[in-house]
Amino acid sequence: MRSAMFGRTSKVHGNREDWNNIRQMMPFVWAYKGRVMLALGCLVISKVAMVGIPIVLKFIVDALDTNGGQIATLPVIFLLAYGGLRFINSGFNELRDAVFARVRYHAMSSLSVTTLNHLHNLSLRFHLERNTGAISRDMERGAQSISSILNYMVFNIIPTAAEFLLVAAILFSQYDNDFGIIIFLTVILYIGFTLALTEWRMHYRHEMNALDSSANGRAMDSLMNYETVKYFNNDVLEISRYQETMGQWEDLAVKSQNTMSLLNFGQGAIIAIGVTGIMFLAAEGVAENVLTLGDLVLINTMMLQLFLPLNFLGIIYRALKYALADMDMVIKLLRRPIEIKDSPGARPLSLDNATVEFKNVGFHYNPDRQILNDISFKVEEGKKLAIVGPSGAGKSTIARLLFRFYDIKQGEVLISGQNIAHVTQESLRRAIGIVPQDTVLFNDSILYNIRYAKPEATEQEVFHAASLANIHEFIQSLPEGYSTIVGERGLKLSGGEKQRVAIARVLLKDAPILVFDEATSSLDSQSEKLILSALEKISRNKTTLVIAHRLSTIVDADTIVVMDEGRIKEQGNHLELISKGGIYADLWSIQQRKSEKQQSIEHNSDSTRDQ
């Protein structure tokens, strides 16, 4: 089964608009339009010199043939011209390559940067559904494809077209029309055959691309979830899924190669017939003294110069179609609309006070499933509000809406009295710090990961933040200290260590509004104590929103909001909610019993060890 993100490959092929893709690519090329024009100028000079070579060669042959083999005087001027044209052709070819190199590589880097920037601008909804490995492969092929397309256009297709027009002009003006007619018929038949057969076989390439991206995505997914694969002993399952996809790719690759062999044979046959016809006409002209031996050499040389690149043109055309197919996924990605945008006239968030307010907020990811219903609460500046409730109640969604990862469907989210939909996203997110439930770190040093919140921070500022987060001494005890690489997604650190790095990062950011999204839910009691101590330090005098699972961690909150099924069921401080005897009181009672039971087990375990 193919990855869902690709859909049906035939559909991809049917909807692909090559010319629109090329037009969308042009701004990346036109950034260096002066170089483009200069490269095209070099190309024209090179081709004029190339076509001039057989003409000079004709004069040399005729001059030598006139003397009947008794060479009295060498045609020095023609020999020098021949060498000069060869030099001009080679020199301007290389100059074209050197001039155009900046255009080609700039286009590659610009497309890659633009694609990554667009990916960062797409909403969280897209990134929760994406296949990272497949997107990575599509980006790689897309960047390479723009280089290939430019190479084929500037170094193959345009030069061949220019040379064909020059050769045709010479033959029609200097020789019988039959020569030009045969050449035109051969070229038209060649191009028609190439286009028709290539279009017919292109669906193999599209399906190969989809399978290649899907296989890469599966391979990356299995490697990123290495531990899970090992936990469930599913190495064979992962390899078999990958092998199944690669087997389908292999079958399509064989079919693609077989049809390409058919295409190459047909192209060769057409060229052979055309060249044979031309040579019969030229030989007949020489035999009848209508043409000279130099004319025969001229026509033969021009045919070789014309049909040799034309032969490669079939290969180039196929490669160009493949490159356009490779680019198609990236172009479609760039055309994907950005869901969350700054509104027209959006201004930076002005923090007169750091109050946070949700007013009658309603939200759903899909219309058939409402997540939040009429949510209203307010966190005053410097106060702490906790949100509790069972899993699926919509608690973490509130944090995502506060960061404006999604736009709400009704109501308002206000910070300092300003609707966050009307302020810039950059200023909004700069004002909020978060310690998430699952801290994911970059595969870089601990220093880099803490400093990520404030790239310009000094090492002393980083050390101070780490000290407040109760992790500085641990980092210093490591052999490489702050230079320790944490591994992909921070897997070399424990859960508690990662959380304390996240806290240090938030401390360094020093944002006026803090969000703790179940920051201690998956930690042991010892780690939780360290984390809670650090959280208490950083939340002093900050507006704090705590999404909590363990109620014991939020008893000091100024306000506790109890949610269930996307609605606020209760609201008040700890003592008020306990006295109500409602949902919160029941949750508190259940968790207290669990805590007492755990403490009893630990006490008995300690007593047994003492005996």
Residue 481 is part of a domain; what is its CATH number?
Answer: 3.40.50.300
Last residue of a domain, one of 510, 533, 558: 510
Q: How many CB atoms lie within 10 A of CB 392?
A: 12
pLDDT at 503: 85
Contact 144, 326 (CB under 8 A): yes
- Same domain, yes or no: 90 and 110: yes
Per-residue pLDDT for 527 more than 80? no
pTM comes to 0.66
Residue 17 resides in a domain: yes
For residue 483, the model assigns a pLDDT of 92
- Any idea which residue has 């090559």 for tokens? 18
Answer yes or no: do 424 and 401 share one domain. Answer: yes
Report, as an integer, the average pLDDT of 348-359.
90
- Minimum mean pLDDT among 171-185, 235-249, 548-562: which range? 171-185
Q: Confidence class of residue 598 from pLDDT cuts 50, 70 and 90?
A: low
Where does the pLDDT of residue 605 fall: very low under 50, low under 70, confident under 90, or very high at 90 and above?
A: low
Residue 580 has pLDDT above 60, yes or no: yes
Q: Compute, in degrees rounded to 10, the torsion defined by CA atoms 99, 103, 108, 114.
A: 160
Residues 480, 516: one domain? Answer: no
The pLDDT-based confidence of 462 (bands split at 50, 70, 90) is: very high
Query: What pLDDT is attached to residue 6?
Result: 35
Window from 373-377, 519-523, 596-600 with minimum mean pLDDT: 519-523
Band of pLDDT at residue 377, cut at 50, 70 and 90: very high
| Half-sphere exposure for 39 (CA within 13 Å, toward CB) | 24
My answer on whether 283 and 393 are in the same domain is no
Q: Which pLDDT does position 530 carry in this prediction?
A: 67
Same domain, 498 and 521: no
User: Residue written as tokens 């014309």?
Assistant: 306
Q: How many degrees, rounded to 5, is the angle at CA 154 between CA 149 and CA 155?
A: 100
**Do 506 and 518 fall into the same domain?**
no
- Statement: residue 101 has pLDDT above 70: yes
Same domain, 142 and 280: yes
Whole-number pLDDT of residue 133: 62
- Least-confidence region, from 230-234, 383-387, 554-558: 230-234
Tell which of 466, 488, 510 closes a domain. Answer: 510
Mean pLDDT of the chain: 81
- Residue 596: HSE in the Cβ half-sphere, 13 Å Cα cutoff: 6
> What's residue 356's pLDDT?
93
Q: Are residues 180 and 98 part of one domain?
A: yes
What's the mean pLDDT in 401-411? 90
Q: Is the pLDDT of residue 318 over 80?
A: no
Could you tell me which residues are beta bridge partners of residue 61? none
pLDDT for the residue numbered 553? 81
CB 568 within 8 A of CB 377: yes
Residues 81 and 169 in one domain: yes
Measure the CA–CA gap between 146 and 474, rounded to whole angstroms: 48
Q: pLDDT value at position 67?
A: 52
Q: What confidence category does residue 66 fall into, taking pLDDT thresholds of 50, 70 and 90?
A: low
Say whether pLDDT at 535 is over 80: no
| pLDDT range class, residue 545, cuts 50, 70, 90 | very high
CA distances from 67 to 26, 60, 72, 313, 485 (A): 56, 11, 7, 41, 82
Q: Looking at residue 13, what is its pLDDT?
A: 42
Number of domains in the chain: 3
**207 occurs within a structural domain:** yes
> Is 453 inside a domain boundary?
yes
Residue 1 lies in a domain: no
Domain with 501 in it: 439-510
Residue 588 confidence (pLDDT) above 60: yes
Confidence label for 150 from pLDDT (cuts 50, 70 and 90):
confident
Contact at 8 Å (CB) between 560 and 544?
Answer: no
- Top mean pLDDT of 142-146, 272-276, 417-421, 523-527 is at 417-421
Has residue 2 been placed in a domain?
A: no
4 found inside a domain: no
More reliable by pLDDT, 236 or 194? 236
118 and 244 in a common domain: yes
**pLDDT > 60? residue 159:** yes
98 domain residue, yes or no: yes
7: in domain = no
Query: What residues contact residue 106 under an 8 Å CB cut-off, 6+ apart?
Result: 28, 31, 32
Alpha carbon distances (Å) from 91 to 79, 156, 260, 301, 308:
18, 17, 34, 21, 20
Query: Model confidence at 8, in pLDDT bands (50, 70, 90)?
Result: very low
The mean pLDDT of 480-507, rounded to a whole number, is 84
Check whether 465 has a pLDDT greater than 80: yes
* 458 vs 150 pLDDT, higher one: 458
Tell me: do 268 and 349 sit in the same domain: no
**Do 500 and 519 reside in the same domain of the chain?**
no
Greatest pairwise CA separation for the chain in angstroms: 124
Predicted confidence at residue 348, as pLDDT, reads 92
Last residue of a domain, one of 335, 362, 382: 335
Higher pLDDT, 8 or 319: 319
